[in-house]
Amino acid sequence: MNDYWIQFPKLGLRFEINPEIFSIDTFFGTFTVYWYGLITALAFLVIVIGILKDCSKYGIDRDHMIDLILITTPIGIIGARLYYVIVNWKQYSQNPVEIFKIWHGGLAIYGGIIFGIITIYLFCRIKKISTLKILDHIVVYLVLGQVIGRWGNFVNQELFGPNTDLPWGMTGNIIQRTIKNEDPVHPLFLYESLWNLAAFFILLWFRKRKKLDGEVFSLYMILYGGARFLIDRLRLDMRIGDVNINLLLGLIFVIAFTAVFILRRIRIKPSEPEDTEYEPSRYREILDAVDEKESSADAGDVNGGDSTETEDNAKSEDDVEPGDEAKSGDNIKNEDDAAAEED
């Protein structure tokens, strides 16, 4: 039987999974491929494909994103590992060599986010591009990568909480050796994976409805901070003294970014109506055409009436007979003679 196993007793599920996939002996030593590393690489691949696939759609230069990924990735990994080591220094102080064995697990996303944001900000300042616009684009696919990456914790039997009687409680050989009992524990990796999956769809929906650059990033920080605040209160590690550092940072992020989101929305000035050129209605054009036709018809009737009157006058003149004209001439002559006699 495999020495490594994971079980959900009440669900009747048992998985025999060795953290190591295979090993190869080479001249330089044994080369081992771990499930944790493979799952993390798959999560990273999904993030990169998502970022590069849709960057042009949102007005982001693809070459800039490629350069940013190449720079931010190693810095983010270093930040995630450094944060985890600092918080769990008691574990590594006795064996410092383990600090460099990332394949054994131990990447804190908070460290990756903090170092990543600083790197992105400096990169955008140098390239003179919008930092908030870039962050809005990246976090949508970052949270999707986190959905996948948490299953590396499942294989390594880490990121679990206290004992529980819930139906989905899990256990395993590494878990039992760590907590010194055989009772099932809370599968915190599963809680966070499902939370992140819901956050991915929320961010995907909100991205098309944002009013300001940076709102998607703020919403991501609120959602992820909420996950840390609610889920990490059950964690047994990630403490400095008696302080659960992840829970504290989660609460700070929720409060801070909620305030930022609301204040930025309040400061949005109502847009003034733009002066647009008057465009008459299609029906107005039809009515104008009808009026024009009626005016033309009226003008035709007036001109027709004048022509008829002129023709009538001409006809009256034509009706005068030559005899009548002669008669009129004699009358004029008699009138002249009468005037002469009176003189």
The pLDDT-based confidence of 294 (bands split at 50, 70, 90) is: low
Domain boundary assignment for the chain: 6-266, 282-342
pLDDT given for residue 97 in this prediction: 82
Q: What confidence tens digit (pLDDT) does each residue in 68-93 have?
A: 999 999 999 999 889 888 888 877 88
Rounded to an integer, what is the distance from CA 175 to the centroid of its chain?
39
Per-residue pLDDT of 154-209, as tens digits, reads: 999 988 999 999 999 999 999 999 898 999 999 999 999 999 999 999 999 999 99
Give the CA angle between residues 337, 342, 343 to the nearest 5°.
Answer: 95
Token pair in block for residue 274 = 């733009």
What is the model's pLDDT at position 272?
A: 46
Amino acid at the residue 296: S
pLDDT at position 336 over 80? no
Buried b (16+ CB within 10 A) or exposed e, 196-212: bbebbebbeeebeeeee
Percent of all residues in the chain with a pLDDT value above 70, rounded to a whole number: 77
**Rounded to an integer, what distance in angstroms lies between the CA atom of residue 222 and that of residue 177?**
35
Asked if the model's pLDDT at residue 340 lies above 70, the reply is no
Amino acid letter, residue 300 = G
CB 44 within 8 A of CB 145: yes
Contacts of 273 (CB under 8 A, 6+ apart): none
Cβ–Cβ < 8 Å for 238, 108:
yes
Mind listing the pLDDT tens digit for each residue in 29-80? Answer: 788 889 988 999 999 999 999 999 988 888 899 999 999 999 999 999 999 8
CA distance 294 to 304: 15
Of 245, 236, 242, 240, nearest in space to 163 by CA:
236
* Higher per-residue pLDDT: 139 or 272: 139
Per DSSP, 181 falls in state S
